[in-house]
Amino acid sequence: MKLEFDIKEQYQELKVIIQNHSMNDEVQTVMDKLVTNKKVESLFGYEDNKIFVLKPSDVYLLYAEANKVFAILESTEYRVKEKLYRLEEALECEGFVRISKSAIVNLKYIASIEATFDGGLVVIMKNQSQEVISRRYVKKVKE
């Protein structure tokens, strides 16, 4: 994919032109992202009988376990009622990327990625939490 930008003061509105040899999955993906790309302002985190408003920029990682989704912040963990795949779609533009079937991470909070003895990879977050990167998602993390 090739991107070209033409920024001039004379333009009154944003105009996006997509050029390709055919209407294919790549074009459809770009169009979908342009149309549905809404910034997520907040998430609701649940702990005991309290509801907390979480800023996505404060979330280190989100993971699913036993049909529940959890958000890990610097030193706290909250239950989140949204589905992980919906959070992945909504937070992709915020710097989140899927690393396994059950986890997505905020790239800005990755401290390191380490190899395991069996050839796998583990992401170490800045708050020292760890999550295994599935081989299937290694390429996405590297991008």
For residue 36, what pLDDT is reported? 63
Within 10 angstroms of residue 56's Cβ, the number of other Cβ atoms is 20
- Name the region of 13 (left: φ>0; alpha: ψ -120 to 50; beta: rest): beta
More confident residue, 116 or 139: 116
Would you state the structure tokens that stand for residue 131, as one six-digit string?
Answer: 């999550």
Would you state the structure tokens that stand for residue 115, as one six-digit string?
Answer: 């190899």
Write the pLDDT tens digit of every residue in 50-70: 999 999 999 999 999 999 999
Q: In whole angstroms, what is the distance from residue 76 CA to residue 12 CA?
A: 45
Write the pLDDT tens digit of every residue in 93-116: 888 999 999 999 999 999 999 988
- Classify residue 124 by burial, with Cβ atoms within 10 Å: 0-12, 13-18, 19+: middle
Would you state the structure tokens that stand for residue 53, as one six-digit string?
Answer: 């408003």
Q: Which of 39-43, 69-73, 80-84, 127-131 has the lowest mean pLDDT?
A: 39-43
Whether the CB-CB separation of 94 and 112 falls below 8 Å is answered with no
Q: In whole angstroms, what is the distance from residue 18 CA to residue 42 CA?
A: 31
Residue count of the chain: 143
User: Is residue 39's pLDDT more than 80?
Assistant: no
Q: In whole angstroms, what is the distance from residue 125 CA to residue 93 CA?
A: 19
Spatial CB neighbours of 35, under 8 Å, sequence gap ≥ 6: none
